[in-house]
Amino acid sequence: MNYKADPNRYEKMKYNRCGNSGIKLPAISLGLWHNFGAIDSYENAKEMIHLAFDKGITHFDLANNYGPPAGSAETTFGKVLKEGFESHRDEIIVSTKAGWKMWEGPYGDYGSKKYLVASLDQSLKRMGLDYVDIFYHHRPDPNTPLEETMAALDLIVRQGKALYVGISSYSPEETKAASTFLKQLGTPCLIHQPKYSMLDRWIEDGLLDVLEEEGMGCITFSTLAQGLLTDKYLKGIPADSRAASGRGNGAIESGQIDPHQLKMIHNLNNLAADRGQSLAQMALSWALRDKRVTSTILGVSRPQQLIDSIKCLDNLTFTQPELTQIDQILKA
């Protein structure tokens, strides 16, 4: 069956300007970190990508090592594009990254110009694209001069392989330095992608201030704490959860879920219910409460999760008592 996009898709989404740029991103972006690899159902992945676009999600976030196996999420996305979705290429933002180990030897990891250029070339082939909209350096490299890494990002834009560049998981100080280098080269840094959730608030300690000063956008990942900030674990660890899967690669492990966390999750869930939201919806709304957060990346394993999660946009406002109560629950 040929895919026909929902004609009312843009009425269903909130779009936020990304820093000082001309780009707007959907408040919710779709991440392909898990559940889009070669080991996963292709038809399910395809359905989720189509559904996301029908809901107004125009940004699809990938990386060279997403799968598993590494690279297969990009292959899946490229196949979906070829099978009736490529006519919407100019309506979507496609991002990918390099920075974690991708192949053997000294040139398949971190942040050298050799690695970044080669990795993006591979990513473009897997997706069947001439360019990506955003290319990120996925993590800081302590052994490669920052000037080299930023010069590689600048080169990639000048080659036409990416329209914009970003960084991920850089500290406030590293972010400031990277932004300074890129501005000097004439390719401003569009966006930073940090880990951020109610359970991991490190970006509030300086990074958001730097992003605002530098005119950069912010797109958060793991905002649901790998599923911990959902109702999934309220009654234990379900067999089909990431905690039970044992996949690793950054996914939550069963040992991370203890009685203290479960009590905290129950209390947060009760507050969410008082707001007329699920815990996942409240967690997403909470991340978006700060105007400096442009978008948050949603990871889903089935279409209904996407439908449920996107309803967070119906209630993005928090009262001060609610924010105080959240802080008290988190500190208990």
218 close to 296: Cβ distance less than 8 angstroms: no
Can you say how many angstroms the Cα of residue 90 is from the centroid of all Cα atoms in its chain? 20
- Joined tokens for residue 65: 């090592």
Residue pLDDT tens, the chain, 332 long:
689 999 999 999 999 999 999 999 999 999 999 999 999 999 999 999 999 999 999 999 999 999 999 999 999 999 999 999 999 999 999 999 999 999 999 999 999 999 999 999 999 999 999 999 999 999 999 999 999 999 999 999 999 999 999 999 999 999 999 999 999 999 999 999 999 999 999 999 999 999 999 999 999 999 999 999 999 888 766 666 655 555 555 555 555 678 888 899 999 999 999 999 999 999 999 999 999 999 999 999 999 999 999 999 999 999 999 999 999 999 98
Burial of 221 (0-12, 13-18, 19+ CB in 10 A): buried
Angle among Cα 86, 192, 32 to the nearest 5 degrees reads 40
pLDDT at position 200 is 97
Render 161-184 in DSSP notation, one character per residue: SEEEEEEES--HHHHHHHHHHHHH
pLDDT at position 198 is 97
For the CA atoms of the chain, what is the radius of gyration? 19
In Å, how far are 148, 188, 210 from 105, measured between CA atoms?
19, 31, 35
- Joined tokens for residue 254: 């069963």
Q: How far apart are CA 330 and CA 235, in angstroms?
A: 19
pLDDT tens, position by position, 228-275:
999 988 876 666 665 555 555 555 555 567 888 889 999 999 999 999
pLDDT at position 233 is 86
pLDDT at position 239 is 60
Contacts of 137 (CB under 8 A, 6+ apart): 97, 98, 99, 111, 116, 149, 153, 165, 166, 167, 168
Q: How far apart are CA 284 and CA 311, in angstroms?
A: 10
> Domain coordinates of the chain in residue numbers?
14-331
- Give the chain's end-to-end CA distance (angstroms, integer): 52
* Model confidence, pTM: 0.94
pLDDT at position 243 is 57
- Joined tokens for residue 149: 């890494």
pLDDT at position 235 is 78
Burial of 324 (0-12, 13-18, 19+ CB in 10 A): exposed
Q: How far apart are CA 183 and CA 187, in angstroms?
A: 6
Backbone angles phi, psi at 129, to 5 degrees: -115, 155
Contacts of 65 (CB under 8 A, 6+ apart): 71, 100, 101, 102
Domain covering 14-331 in this structure, CATH number: 3.20.20.100
64 close to 96: Cβ distance less than 8 angstroms: yes
